[in-house]
Amino acid sequence: MNNNLGIIMKFSITVFVFTLIFFSNNIFADNIDGRVAIKVSSKVKIQILEDMRKNLTSIQLIVAALANEDFEQVVKIAGELGSMDHTEEAMMRRKSLSEEYRSLGPQLHMGFQSLSRDARDFGDVQHSLGQLSNVMNVCVACHQGYRLEVE
């Protein structure tokens, strides 16, 4: 009987410790997240995240096109991503963001423009992959440096 009690106590303590670790990590996660918080409205956050998902999907399509040496698709997809949205709504959304964060957008679009142009002019898979890697470095810098937080 004492042996069962000991096992139950050890199990209870183990569950307690894991629960404590789990909840303390969630409670203090914001304190250890060293990324800069970009405060936005929920609408802007949704729009930015939609844009990011669109970019990710497009990058996957570019990789697939490069694997098939389909430079026509690379030119088309990268060209679309290379043009910035100049609608009034997009301009207002960008104005609400910090200058450092905003500076990443043009880098991303210029990278896609270069990828589109060079894919059209050279049709070289390795060159295009190098350019795509540079574009993705902008994505990585953004995700490592910033997080969106609803105001």
pLDDT at 7: 67
Q: What is the pTM of this model?
A: 0.76
Q: What is the mean pLDDT of the chain?
A: 87
pLDDT, one tens digit per residue, over 14-57 is 766 666 566 655 555 556 889 999 999 999 999 999 999 999 99
Residue 131 structure tokens: 């350019």
H/E element holding 78? helix 71-82
Q: In whole angstroms, what is the distance from residue 6 CA to residue 93 CA?
A: 60
pLDDT, one tens digit per residue, over 132-150 is 999 999 999 999 999 999 9
